[in-house]
Amino acid sequence: MASTTTPVLSAHLNRVRPRDTVWPYAGILSAVAVGVSGTILAQGPGTFRDVDGQPGTAFVLANLNGELPVKIGAGLHLLGIVAAFAFLFGLTRFVATHSPRTAEPLRWASIALLASGTLGAAIRYIAAGGLPGAMDSPMYTPEASATIAVLADQLSTASFLPALAVMAFVGLAAVRDRILPVGIGVATLVLAGASFAATLVLGLPYSSSLVYPLFALLVGIAGLLSRRFA
């Protein structure tokens, strides 16, 4: 018996809402993984402010996280980036459906974030291997171990700088085209603007690693609650 469903009705019935897709859940997972990674890898408050002038190599090495916490933090960072791939892929498709003019710049910003975030995870693993007593420590002098550990801390957090562009495009689409609640769009733009100002004026690029989890969490939850078709 021939189907009486028209092509238009069939296409409508086959459309799903974001909560029926992967990307909102991936966004929440990415937010949690990146946030917990940063918490684990954060140094104790004031650790490197307890000395006058520049500390020596021995002091730096004595106050770094151990190999296991660094590897756990790096693994969570990597998990956050893998989840971000699914999150940003689905989010970009969602934006392309409802705000086509924003989709292309969002796609390129997402690619930049995934590339830099992957490098951020990689340098964490490299630094873990060079810590005193770690598997690759014979390849490093004490000075090299201290240097790569500090650089890894700075570079891995700064690897979320492209997230500011992602946030700006998503926030713009939310405010202009209502693809997400306007409040979410405004919050996203405020977070992106605050981190950009902190980086540009105060030289604090790691602020991007603080605002990205908030963005991913907010947009993930907004996606779950969205009534728009994916």
- Write the pLDDT tens digit of every residue in 169-210: 999 999 999 999 999 999 999 999 999 999 999 999 999 999
Residue range 213-226: mean pLDDT, rounded: 95
pTM (predicted TM-score): 0.87
The average pLDDT across 111-130 equals 94
**pLDDT score of 199:** 95
- Reference 155, options 119, 102, 103; nearest CA is 119
Q: How many domains does the chain contain in total?
A: 1
Among 24-33, 127-136, 173-182, the minimum mean pLDDT is found in 127-136
User: Is 15 within a domain?
Assistant: no
Structural domain of 215: 20-225
Structural domain includes residue 2 = no
Asked if residue 12 belongs to a domain, the reply is no
63 inside domain = yes
